[in-house]
Amino acid sequence: MIVTKLPQRNIYDYKEVVGEEKINKVIELAEKLKDCKVTHVNSTCFGGGVAEILYSMVPLMNSIGLKANWEVIKGSNEFFNVTKKIHNALQGAEIDLTKEEVELYLETNKWNVENELVLDADTIIAHDPQPLPIRRYASNNRKWIWRCHIDLSQPYKPVWILISSLLDKYDASIYHLKEYIHPETPTPKKYVMPPSIDPLNDKNKPLPDSLVEKILRKYDVDPEKPILIQVARFDPWKDPLGAIDVYRLVKRKIPDVQLLLIASMATDDPEGWIMYEKALRYAGMDKDIHFLTNLIGVGALEVNAFQRAATVVLQLSKKEGFGLAVTEALWKKKPVIARPRGGLKLQVIDNVTGYLVETVEEAAEKAVYLIKHPEVRERLGTNGYKHVLENFLITKHLENYLKVIYEAGKCS
């Protein structure tokens, strides 16, 4: 399925944000790839960081002279249950796949290649494990890149053997961090490229205070009281129950504190519904814990408002690919308390843009301190904004993609 309902994007629209010099650098690189056909393939057009990036990245690529498309594979709930198992196993969970599950994984990708996907580009970029096998069943006269958004440093070996066999024919692979690259990765070229946020989309663009307050009141959040938030899928790796524990400890010292748990329920993550129900039960009847999802109309604009209203942002992930919700919060000048996992370590610099903690107790202690010290929140927030501006905006991400496509997936 090709995704066609994409926004208009022009590289020059970002000049006021990042400066003319950075825009000119992107334009210069793009000249080398003029009319190059690039197709991105992933597993969902809604929910999660990959979809959000592609929503802006594909039209931006087109705005600078490439011919970019975005294709989404189709699959049953059983297929996505299998790919979720693969995702967790690649992050270290000891999860075995049955012969039938492996066959379903491969056959679904084969069916997509034969019936659903248009793969006639010069360079094809497959995102994450879900569409990885398409290379096995597609024409060979392309350049193939696998974009991995998860941590492969310590995968469960039986599943890694399957994944590495599928990677064998790819020309290159891309990872968020150098430490995520498995030493036995078979692709000839390997690149490191952090993901990004789009400062002009609804989730990150500036909002007037009046609109922020209106959105908060619509969802019964009191803008006059302290707000803790965690924006993350309902996933055991993201530890939403830990966020609730932090809130409960903070509430002993600051009784009027509120907790917002914000998430999109993605179509390719059936496990998320189980964790969502578990978190609801764990929260009980506490009226100061708010579950804010697309199920009740929370979209990008609402997430933007909640992040701007936050006093302190939590990201208690036990495992993390990168954590774009943290990037978004830093962009809005909010201090972040996070565990030092994966890409969070690149973003949350201890006592510079936020605090790194290991335990719920440490997180609660830091949250209380920040709530009581607005001048510290301001200092950390300003530093966080500058950090994102230099490193994690979509214009920098686009520049990196152009370099990789030119070197590893050069157009014919």
Q: Has residue 412 got a pLDDT over 60?
A: no
Classify residue 213 as exposed, middle or buried by CB count within 10 Å of its CB (0-12, 13-18, 19+): middle
Are 248 and 332 found together in one domain?
Answer: yes
Q: Has residue 339 got a pLDDT over 70?
A: yes
Report the C-alpha gap between 296 and 303 in whole angstroms.
Answer: 12
Which of the four pLDDT bands, split at 50, 70 and 90, describes residue 272? confident
User: Among 72-81, 138-147, 242-251, 345-354, which stretch is predicted with the lowest mean pLDDT?
Assistant: 138-147
Asked if residue 168 belongs to a domain, the reply is yes
Q: Which are the contacts of 252, defined by CB distance < 8 A and separation ≥ 6?
A: none
Cβ count near 21 (within 10 Å)? 8
Given a contact cutoff of 8 angstroms between Cβ atoms, the answer to whether 87 and 128 are in contact is yes
Report the C-alpha gap between 325 and 238 in whole angstroms.
Answer: 12
Given a contact cutoff of 8 angstroms between Cβ atoms, the answer to whether 192 and 175 are in contact is yes
| Mean pLDDT (whole number) for 275-284 | 95
Q: Please provide the average confidence, as pLDDT, over all residues in the chain.
A: 94
Are 333 and 374 found together in one domain?
Answer: yes
Are 142 and 280 found together in one domain?
Answer: no
Are 296 and 351 found together in one domain?
Answer: yes
Q: Which are the contacts of 248, defined by CB distance < 8 A and separation ≥ 6?
A: none
List the domain range (segments joined by +) for residue 345: 209-391
**Tokens representing 111?**
């069916």
Say which CATH number the domain at 294 has: 3.40.50.2000
Containing 299, the helix (H) or strand (E) segment is none
Report the C-alpha gap between 308 and 328 in whole angstroms.
Answer: 10
Residue type, 206: P
| Mean pLDDT (whole number) for 335-340 | 98
Report the C-alpha gap between 207 and 293 in whole angstroms.
Answer: 20
Report the C-alpha gap between 324 and 394 in whole angstroms.
Answer: 12
Sign of the alpha-carbon dihedral angle for 232, 236, 240, 242: negative
Are 218 and 176 found together in one domain?
Answer: no
Give the C-alpha distances (Å, rounded to integers) separating 224 from 66, 227, 257.
Answer: 48, 9, 10
Asked if residue 1 belongs to a domain, the reply is no
pLDDT digits (tens, 9 = 90+) for 365-399: 999 999 999 999 999 999 999 999 999 999 999 99
Asked if residue 385 belongs to a domain, the reply is yes
Q: Residue 264: its pLDDT value, please?
A: 84
Q: Residue 1: its pLDDT value, please?
A: 79
Asked if residue 2 belongs to a domain, the reply is no
Report the C-alpha gap between 124 and 400 in whole angstroms.
Answer: 16
Asked if residue 88 belongs to a domain, the reply is yes
Which of the four pLDDT bands, split at 50, 70 and 90, describes residue 354? very high
**Alpha helix positions (H), 44-168:** 49-63, 77-90, 99-115, 134-137, 157-167
Classify residue 166 as exposed, middle or buried by CB count within 10 Å of its CB (0-12, 13-18, 19+): buried
**Tokens representing 79?**
């297929």
Are 35 and 182 found together in one domain?
Answer: yes
Are 70 and 186 found together in one domain?
Answer: yes
Domain count for the chain? 2
Rg (CA), the chain: 21
Residue type, 42: N
Are 42 and 164 found together in one domain?
Answer: yes
Using a cut of 0.85, tell me whether the model's pTM lies above it: yes
Which of the four pLDDT bands, split at 50, 70 and 90, describes residue 319? confident
Report the C-alpha gap between 405 and 407 in whole angstroms.
Answer: 6
Asked if residue 397 belongs to a domain, the reply is yes
Are 138 and 246 found together in one domain?
Answer: no
Are 334 and 383 found together in one domain?
Answer: yes
Residue type, 159: V
pLDDT digits (tens, 9 = 90+) for 32-50: 999 899 999 999 887 778 8
pLDDT digits (tens, 9 = 90+) for 106-152: 999 999 999 999 999 999 999 999 999 999 999 777 899 999 998 89
Asked if residue 176 belongs to a domain, the reply is yes
Given a contact cutoff of 8 angstroms between Cβ atoms, the answer to whether 87 and 42 are in contact is no
Asked if residue 38 belongs to a domain, the reply is yes
Q: Has residue 411 got a pLDDT over 70?
A: no
Report the C-alpha gap between 341 and 91 in whole angstroms.
Answer: 12
Helical pair 240-253 and 271-283, crossing angle rounded to 10 deg? 20
Are 76 and 153 found together in one domain?
Answer: yes
Nearest to 83 by CA among 17, 154, 10, 149: 149
Are 147 and 253 found together in one domain?
Answer: no
Report the C-alpha gap between 10 and 23 in whole angstroms.
Answer: 11
| Mean pLDDT (whole number) for 318-331 | 93
Q: Residue 266: its pLDDT value, please?
A: 67
| Mean pLDDT (whole number) for 280-300 | 95
For residue 20, the number of C-alpha atoms closer than 13 Å in the C-beta half-sphere is 0
| Mean pLDDT (whole number) for 88-94 | 92
